[in-house]
Chains A and B, each alone.
Chain A
Amino acid sequence: MSFLTGLLRPSLPPGEHFGLLAEFTSPAELYHACEGVRDAGYTRWDAHAPFPVHGLERAMGLRASRLPWVSLLLALGGGITGMGLQGWVSTLAYPLVISGKPFFSWPAFVPVTFELAVLGGALGAVFGMFAMNQLPTLHHPLFNSQAFERASDDGFFLSIESWDPQFNPDRTADLLRRLGAKEVELIASAPRQAPALGGATE
């Protein structure tokens, strides 16, 4: 069980601060900032935009995703399972003569093999994506930032995590400002205290 709950817990940088969050005003600025952060040698960081920005993966220097391999492996696994199960049942476990055909009538097994390969590939793609994105993550330290709420509306953000070997709260913040950040915010690791219900705000 602890293994499963461990899977559900996102891997986050230890320590008091999650990292720095920088806000940019346009996708083009975000794009160029990503190039700058990439060229500065940072490795543990991410970009956030309300819509897909084409070419951003190149600007960020991301490797090709390994997700297709997960999908392919599970597709092959599904196909082998489908053909293997039918072959085993029809030749060894419960051989029956069906319309005078051989026990191992592979053409008849192809539809199920195909369907299980598709099922395996699809499940691999969906759940592999979930696993690689560490989803579901119910809370994330970036939610501590009020400004970050606009990442799904009209805000363009770049976050650098504190466990990046290059990370230094001051120098990294300077770099982000030099790259055109409108606002740079230090993000705490601990969740923000929820405001008391019905309480006075002052």
Chain B
Amino acid sequence: MSAPHHSGGTGPRPASLHTDALHLPPGHSWHRLPTVGLTLAAVGLGGSLAFGLLGGTEARHQLWHSWLVGSLFVLGISLGALFFVLVQHATQAGWSIVVRRLAENVMGALPYLALLFVPLAVLGLGDLFHWSHPEAVQSDPLLQHKAAYLNVPFFLIRTFASFAIWSVLAVWFSRQSRLQDETGDHEITRRMRRRSAPALILFALTVTFFAFDWLMSLDPHWYSTIFGLYFFAGSVMSFFAVLALVALAAKRQGLLTLVLSDEHQHDVGKLLFAFVAFWAYMAFSQYLLIWYANLPEETSFFAKRMVGTWSIAGTVLALGHFIVPFFFLLPRTIKRNATALRLAALWLLAMHLLDLHWLVMPNLHPAGMAPGLLDALTLIGCCGVFLAAFGGALKRRALVPLRDPRLPESLTFENV
């Protein structure tokens, strides 16, 4: 924006900000988030490991598939946060400074979420991926053709590289931002801007191949070049839902009450809305091309998901992940209403979870949906890890980038 942003006390803005509202106050209930998160993680992951590993082959298969859904759910949220932070730097956005630290704390979970993929990579590969069995590859010309890419060592290298890149980016951008809290150096802002564009390219490549590897290769004969974007769209949407929930919860808990305005809430709501539409755009683009060409190697994905209750899940996704939230979030008043936005965010998180379930589970339960205890336990455990990492990051620094040069602009931001 080139126009002057605010003109001498025109808006109903508070005159002063108390610095104590910008840190998590001592004794605040959110100090317990890491403990709560770790408890949930221990109960959820421990319980699911006990049930899954001691319950025989079938339970073990279920365990790793459920674990994958839960891990991808929280990973998607954190990847969405990384994307958001990078885009804010690349576009030199002013409005978002007051929510950027919350996003930085969400993306700060990325190194810890790598731990969730360690058991999957060490113990779960064989149960998840048909192509990881040499004898299966030997009898399958298509898998032999793909073996140069789809083999266990290269798969593990790619997974490791993805997490390494995400972790380095998340840590570096968080650390620079925190450094600026201390020094107030404007050069840090310029440095983050310069690095954000190449980081976005790395992000795009890693997320695409990660989705190919951990989701698409569950059905190794099937392929869709848009699949990376499909995972990306749903993940970023789930992040904006979390950002809305966290920002609204913070205000409810007496944090950032003078900082976060309806204007910021409105913009987060707009981005949530945009990614609802973008997810639908990706989902339909994928469907349309496969439906139109009607080639057996491509249609197998949807054929599998039209069996039994899976077709109901697909319909629920079309309605509940797009049509209903699209029209619900369309009016300006809804995005500016805390209760309505909270409702939409919770609903969309549930839909994103269903989306991941719908992507993973038909490979294990071809006859129809079969949600169970292990799904719940792994989800609780993965959310616990995420919550602990997020809560830990929240405690360690101010809740907004205190000395970002664009903070005043963000504080007085208004939608025209």
A residues with a Cβ closer than 8 A to B are 26-28, 31, 51-56, 59, 64, 68, 72, 99-100, 107-108, 110-111
- Cβ 8 A contact of A52, one of B3, B9, B288, B294: B3
Q: Does B7 contact A (CB under 8 A)?
A: yes
Contact, CB under 8 Å: B284 / A110: yes
Residue tally, chain B, CB below 8 Å to A: 22
Apart from A54-B414, A55-B10, A68-B332, what 14 extra A-B contacts exist at CB < 8 Å? A26-B7, A27-B4, A51-B3, A52-B416, A53-B7, A53-B10, A54-B11, A54-B416, A55-B414, A56-B10, A107-B284, A107-B287, A107-B291, A108-B288
* Dominant SS among interface residues on chain A: helix
- Cβ 8 A contact of B288, one of A53, A68, A110: A110
Within 8 A of A (CB), among B1-44: 3-12
- Cβ 8 A contact of A27, one of B8, B331, B412: B8
Within 8 A of A (CB), among B283-316: 284, 287-288, 291-292, 294
Given A64-B332, A99-B294, residue A54 in contact with residue B10 (CB < 8 A): yes
The 9 A-B residue pairs whose C-beta atoms are closest, nearest first, are A27-B7, A28-B8, A54-B414, A51-B3, A55-B11, A31-B10, A55-B10, A107-B288, A107-B291
Contact, CB under 8 Å: B288 / A54: no
Contact, CB under 8 Å: A107 / B292: yes
Distance, CA A72 to CA B412, complexed state (A): 30
Distance, CA A56 to CA B6, complexed state (A): 11
Q: List 6 A-B contacts (CB under 8 A).
A: A55-B12, A56-B10, A68-B331, A100-B294, A107-B284, A107-B292
Residues of A within 8 A of B5 (CB): 54
Within 8 A of A (CB), among B246-293: 284, 287-288, 291-292
Residues of A within 8 A of B287 (CB): 107
* Residue of B whose beta carbon sits closest to that of A53: B7
* Residue of A whose beta carbon sits closest to that of B9: A28
Nearest CB in chain A: distance from B280 CB, A: 10
Residues of B within 8 A of A68 (CB): 331-332
Distance, CA A52 to CA B6, complexed state (A): 9
Residues of A within 8 A of B292 (CB): 99, 107-108
Residues of B within 8 A of A52 (CB): 3, 416
Residues of B within 8 A of A111 (CB): 288
Nearest CB in chain B: distance from A129 CB, A: 14
* Residue of A whose beta carbon sits closest to that of B7: A27
Contact, CB under 8 Å: A26 / B414: no
Distance, CA A53 to CA B288, complexed state (A): 46
Residues of A within 8 A of B332 (CB): 64, 68
Distance, CA A68 to CA B292, complexed state (A): 35
Residues of B within 8 A of A51 (CB): 3-4
* Residue of B whose beta carbon sits closest to that of A111: B288
0/1 string, B321-355, CB within 8 A of A gives 1: 00000000011100000000000000000000000
* Residue of A whose beta carbon sits closest to that of B291: A107
* Residue of B whose beta carbon sits closest to that of A27: B7
Distance, CA A56 to CA B11, complexed state (A): 9
Nearest CB in chain A: distance from B317 CB, A: 15
Residues of B within 8 A of A64 (CB): 332
Contact, CB under 8 Å: A26 / B8: yes
* Residue of A whose beta carbon sits closest to that of B285: A111
Distance, CA A99 to CA B291, complexed state (A): 11
Contact, CB under 8 Å: B4 / A59: no
Residues of A within 8 A of B9 (CB): 28
Interface centre among B6, B7, B9 (most CB of A within 10 A): B7
Distance, CA A26 to CA B8, complexed state (A): 9
Residues of B within 8 A of A72 (CB): 330
Residues of A within 8 A of B10 (CB): 27-28, 31, 53-56, 59
Distance, CA A201 to CA B139, complexed state (A): 100
Distance, CA A28 to CA B6, complexed state (A): 9
Residues of B within 8 A of A56 (CB): 10
